[in-house]
């Protein structure tokens, strides 16, 4: 499913990918599909450059939004396991999750 999503992002780069809303309730585009695809490629290159390979685990502590989606897609593309972390929980819980 994620492979199909990555392909769809590139097939329609100008379409919205991540939406939000204004204070008045009107829809607002936070990122286009092309934006997310470009971010995912950049994150994958960065993770690869740091020596991560398929089967490795990467900790992800990022707010929900376009960058979070791109990081998860990059991890999937490289065959990494993503441990989604909440830095507000404290070091003991973070260590246990990792």
Q: What is the pLDDT of residues 58-85, one digit of tens each?
A: 989 888 899 999 999 999 999 999 988 8
pLDDT-derived band at 50 (thresholds 50, 70, 90) equals: very high
Nearest C-alpha neighbor of 18 from the set 71, 63, 66: 66
Average pLDDT over residues 4-30: 91
Delineate the domains of the chain, giving CATH numbers in brackets. 2-97 (3.40.50.980)
Nearest C-alpha neighbor of 41 from the set 11, 4, 70: 70
- Residue 44 is encoded by which pair of tokens? 């994958």
Q: In the predicted model, is pLDDT for residue 2 greater than 80? A: no
Model pTM score: 0.83
Q: Quote the pLDDT of residue 97.
A: 72
Nearest C-alpha neighbor of 29 from the set 44, 17, 46: 17
């Amino acid at each position: 499913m994620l492979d199909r999503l990555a392909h769809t992002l590139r097939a329609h780069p100008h379409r919205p990918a991540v939406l939000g809303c204004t204070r008045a309730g009107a829809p607002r585009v936070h990122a286009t599909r092309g934006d997310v695809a470009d971010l995912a490629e950049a994150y994958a290159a960065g993770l690869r450059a740091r020596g991560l390979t398929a089967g490795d685990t990467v900790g992800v502590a990022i707010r929900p939004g376009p960058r979070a989606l791109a990081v998860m897609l990059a991890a999937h593309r490289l065959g990494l396991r993503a441990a989604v972390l909440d830095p507000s929980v404290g070091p003991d819980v973070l260590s246990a999750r990792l």
